Amino acid sequence: MISYVKGPLVDIFEDTVIIEAGYIGLEIHVPLSVLDRLPGIGMETILYTYFQVREDGMCLYGFLNRQDLRMFKQLISVSGIGPKGALGVLSAMTPDDLRVAIISGDAKAISRAPGIGVKTAQRVILDLKDKIDMADVLPAQFAPAEGPEISAGGVAKEAIEALVALGYSQTEANRAVGKVEVTEDMTSEDVLKASLKHLAFL
């Protein structure tokens, strides 16, 4: 088992990267979201990896953090989704967006990934919904506060519900509200207005 690979980034291709580790160049398959966040050629890079061994070969799949690697492992645990399919899903949407889509039951968003139909997307939701914690999705400022007063989390959730009522998907609504810095003196209307501004750039 190869837990992670650390070394200088040697080359970047369409869906793989080469990292030198111990004078050996390792080819690692990565989602498109990783390619956009890599350092420059020659810079030290660390990728957390999943090592697949098959009869016809061996492959490494890499991610920038352990949470994203865990999401990948959860995806390949779903019947009908292999490593390449999981990589396609995580190339079409970020791991955080995928978690939101799973929790909210947004099969349409997941089915936009290449090779993933609506039935497979629904299976992903069914199999993984109980394994995703909402606390992993919403920023800390959205966590419910104790007491009878409406918390920052309360107004954020109200804003999300309002965006969904306006026709946005649950995933789009969560992503937009997540970009707003919610303070205790903000109302749900304030959060909604700020979120609508962000939606113009999503």
pTM: 0.69
**First vs last Cα of the chain: how many Å apart?**
38
Nearby residues of 13 by Cβ (< 8 Å), 6 or more positions away: none
Place of tokens 């650390």: 6
Chain segment 60-105, per-residue pLDDT in tens: 999 999 989 999 999 999 998 999 999 999 999 888 889 888 887 8
Structure confidence by residue, pLDDT tens digits, 65-77: 998 999 999 999 9
> Domains of the chain by range and CATH?
4-63 (2.40.50.140), 66-134 (1.10.150.20), 138-199 (1.10.8.10)
Q: Give the DSSP H or E segment for 191.
A: helix 188-199
What is the per-residue pLDDT across 125-143, written as a single tens digit (0 to 9) for each? 999 988 876 555 554 434 4
SS3 169: coil
Query: Can you tell me the mean pLDDT for 43-64?
Result: 93
| DSSP helix/strand/coil, 93 | coil
Task: Summarize the confidence of residues 151-158 as an average pLDDT.
Answer: 73
Of 32, 29, 33, nearest to 57 (Cα)?
A: 29
Which of residues 140 and 8 earns the better pLDDT score?
Answer: 8
- DSSP readout, 15-66? SEEEEEETTEEEEEE--HHHHTT---TTSEEEEEEEEEEETTEEEEEEESSH
